[in-house]
Amino acid sequence: MSGPVLPRRGFLAATAGFAAALTLAACGDGATPTQAAPTGAAGGWTFTDDRDKKLDLPKRPSRVVAQVGSAAALWDFGVRPVGVFGPHKLKDGTRDPQVGNVDITKVQGLGNVWDEFNVEQYIALQPDLLVSSMYIKGTLWYVPEKSKATIEQVAPTAGIMLTGRSAMQVIGKYEELAKSLGADMRGVPEAKARLEAASKELAAFKDLKILMMSAGPDSMWVVNPPEYPDIVHLTQNGLSVVTPSKVDEGGFFQTLSWENADTYDADVILYDTRTQSLKPAEMMKKPTFAKLPAVKAGQLYPWSAEAPYSYQGYADFVEGLVANLKKASKLP
């Protein structure tokens, strides 16, 4: 993660899945199909994904494999994938936060890091459908280019677009997909009400200038709000988030050296909590960062950068953020 410019895919992969010490998780003996209602009408199953691709199958898919972000969203709506790929297991064997509430002892792990996807295990699962998010339209997140053709021959694929959308739009698309798969939606209305209530509270903090960032050993990345569904949701509900004056190729962020950590003023800093991003104690070893007013004031709070795109996932995220912002104040 070093160098003056990090390509978009490299940044996203690094902050979403790159950790050399992570091991390939293979915990598949307990895999069970998605909990789905009987197929119902004789017309089969259809779903139009965000590639504008209409999927048309003779019956509703019951054996779903999903990238961890998609799996986390679908799980909260009541869909139980049989397999997952992407960061789902930490070195100590516990769940990676990115996999949300998914019970990783009951799904087959097909790969835990970038460019890792066990095609043979995927075929053995006999999947009916593969689901993944997309940062770039047409490119399924964590589906390796080298195996893409083979993977797409095994079962139909569905892509859900993230970039340039609000979290509510993304959640709505996953809700649509989950309903089509026969999910029971248990707990969804209550979670939606929680999210709506917490989101309304955000307007109370409109006077705070907030910087959102991810951290590496040699650089910090100031994220560009319009490209992130979660930040779009926050700004739509009243938060003032710093927009970098200059963004790197791809548009997702601006790379700054730690010497330039003070480029932007902020009352509050939200830091990326994903596995590969530096932790606060590591960031505090960077003198320029430690001297920032928000840091000195103790107004450095976690940012759940890949909260599951479900009402439950976002209710937890926004409620936690509101609780932290209540402790913050405008700095001189």
Contact status, residue 236 vs residue 19, Cβ threshold 8 Å: no
The per-residue pLDDT for 276 is 82
What are the pLDDT digits (tens) for 60-103? Answer: 999 999 999 999 999 999 999 999 999 999 989 999 989 999 99
Rounded Cα–Cα distance for residues 146 and 141 (Å): 13
Contact status, residue 88 vs residue 109, Cβ threshold 8 Å: yes
The per-residue pLDDT for 43 is 64
Q: In this structure, what are the phi and psi dihedrals at residue 4, rounded to the nearest 5 degrees?
A: -70, -30
Collect the ranges in the chain with pLDDT lower than 50: 1-11, 13-42
The per-residue pLDDT for 32 is 40
Query: If DSSP codes are grouped into helix, strand and coil, which group holds residue 301?
Result: strand
Q: What is the mean pLDDT of the chain?
A: 88
The per-residue pLDDT for 6 is 32
The per-residue pLDDT for 41 is 42
Show the tokens assigned to 3: 């160098």
Tell me, rounded to whole angstroms, the distance of Cα 218 from its chain centroid.
24
* Residue 61 CB contacts under 8 Å (≥ 6 apart), including other chains: 34, 36, 45, 127, 128, 129, 156, 181
Strand 253-257 and strand 268-272: the pairing is unpaired
pTM of the model: 0.85
The per-residue pLDDT for 251 is 87
The per-residue pLDDT for 306 is 85
What are the pLDDT digits (tens) for 245-254? Answer: 999 988 899 9
Report the chain's terminal Cα–Cα distance, integer Å.
34
